[in-house]
Chains A and B, each alone.
Chain A
Amino acid sequence: MTIFIPTPLRPYAGGQSSIQIDAPSIAAALDQLTASHPDLRKHLFTPEGKVRAFVNLYLNDEDIRYLPEKEATRVSPTDTLSIIPSIAGGLPPRR
């Protein structure tokens, strides 16, 4: 499957915008992704291993929170997984 890496997280994924991963399920794909890019882990997951509240994961166009089997959902090579973190835009107040 193809995992799309959003701009803010690309520095932790070797600058890549998408990564091909051969895995049977969403959870397995995320494991492989964070195993090869360990810096991504703390941005995607809490220390307890839960997906962070400001990061959303989409299998194709569907939020995985609303898939019946959630992270255990099986995936095919043509599926895409998008990581969508919240972005505020603009510049923070000058300091």
Chain B
Amino acid sequence: MIDTIQLPELTNDELARYSRHLILPEVGMEGQQRLKAARVLCVGTGGLGSPLAFYLAAAGIGTLGLVDFDVVDASNLQRQIIHSTKDIGRKKLDSAAEKLTALNPALNVVKHEVMLSSANALGILKDYDIVADGTDNFPTRYLVNDACVLLGKPNVYGSIFRFEGQASVFATKDGPCYRCLYPEPPPPGLVPSCAEGGVLGILPGLVGVMQATEVIKLILGKGEPLIGRLLLIDSLAMRFRELKLRKNPECPVCGANPTVTQLIDYQQFCGIMPETPQEKNLKNGIPQMTAKELKRRRDAGDDFQLIDVREPYEYQIAQIGGKLIPQNDVPNRLAEIDRNREVVVHCRSGARSQRIAEFLKQAGYQNVSNLAGGILAWSDEIDPRVAKY
């Protein structure tokens, strides 16, 4: 991967800094020089990207590219340890770059303040040796995978949900890619998102450090990388399992006769359609009520039932006066929702309540709407005292 002929020399400062690496036969002088010559791209500086970038910077990676366009939010700090309380509201890229160069001033940090897309991915990825995928959504996962396969760059993969994680190394020369494992993404709404499920703060730490380990092993050419293996991490049981991954000869991107030979529209591939102005007001036949409209209707004393379909533990964190019927209880508690009155359903962000509103409509409720943006929108637009989580 990295040409051995032109390895950079280490300075005296670097010899002192990396002495615990240099005395390890598996790293040694040449290994440390390889790390210095390496160019690694971290896609995302969130839960996975924080420990990943931190450890790569500490280990002496020469060039670290970071892709992120988000700003630091208070709810990130429970797991995104590269950011501090004082960084709330700041660009994640700036916050991360500051911490990384404080840790290792010799590090060359390259900031890519973009949302990775089919238009820019190949141009950004081509300058790196290895890509570490710390993203949080399916369209970007497939985009990163396909771009890595097309460019021949290893894709060091990590993914998390609640207490569980997955890690592997995709898109090496003879190894499988993400599409060999999952040819297609789940349709939106069928698999609950982390926003509904939450995530244990340490979990991305655990998985991100595994990704950093794999990146370093690939650069050193030592050990057994997670190629062709899917590591499953269950942090509640603290059990690690390993499954065999095979390169799918019929894989649409890395198979013998690929049908994907350039980057595609990944939003569309993942079933995410751009919203038309009309759909903003009506989604799958359900009127979308804004927080401001709900406030106005309330203040006007209109008659409607506000149903909160979140879980009881969420209700304890914050509520806006709705009647609590957790989503899974709704089918059995229809008697508590009057068919003859207007119903407004809400949750945290508006996703679960949309599904329940659709369910109620199917169950014969004539006048059902969804609070768009949920309790988060209420907190942003109406009452900041309502806690966001």
Q: With A52-B186, A53-B183 in contact, is A63–B193 under 8 Å at CB?
A: no
B286 interface hit (Cβ, 8 Å): no
Would B184 and A92 count as touching, CB distance under 8 A?
no
Cα of A90 to Cα of B199 in the assembled complex, Å:
8
CB distance from B89 to the nearest CB of A (A): 14
B214 interface hit (Cβ, 8 Å): no
A24 interface hit (Cβ, 8 Å): no
Cα of A86 to Cα of B183 in the assembled complex, Å:
10
Residues of A within 8 A of B350 (CB): 95
Q: Mark B192-211, 1 if CB is under 8 A from A, else 0.
A: 11110101000010000000
Q: With A43-B190, A54-B184 in contact, is A95–B246 under 8 Å at CB?
A: no
Size category of the B interface is 35 or more
One of B6-14, B93-101, B135-143, B336-344 contacting the partner: B135-143
Q: With A7-B164, A82-B241, A84-B243 in contact, is A89–B136 under 8 Å at CB?
A: yes
CB distance from A89 to the nearest CB of B (A): 4
- Closest residue of chain A to B138, judged by CB? A88
Contact of A85 among B158, B191, B246, B328 (CB under 8 A): B191
Residues of B within 8 A of A92 (CB): 136-137, 193-195, 349
Residues of B within 8 A of A94 (CB): 73, 349, 376
* Contacts from B to A (Cβ < 8 Å): 44, 46-48, 73, 135-138, 141, 158-166, 181-186, 190-195, 197, 199, 204, 230, 232, 237, 241-246, 328, 349-351, 372-374, 376-377
Residues of A within 8 A of B165 (CB): 89
* Interface core residue of A54, A84, A85, A89 (most chain B CB under 10 Å): A89
CB distance from B137 to the nearest CB of A (A): 5
Q: Mark A56-94, 1 if CB is under 8 A from B, else 0.
A: 101001110010000000000000001011111111111
Contact of A95 among B194, B245, B376 (CB under 8 A): B376
Contact of B191 among A8, A56, A91 (CB under 8 A): A8
Would A54 and B185 count as touching, CB distance under 8 A?
yes
Cα of A42 to Cα of B187 in the assembled complex, Å:
12
Would A17 and B237 count as touching, CB distance under 8 A?
yes
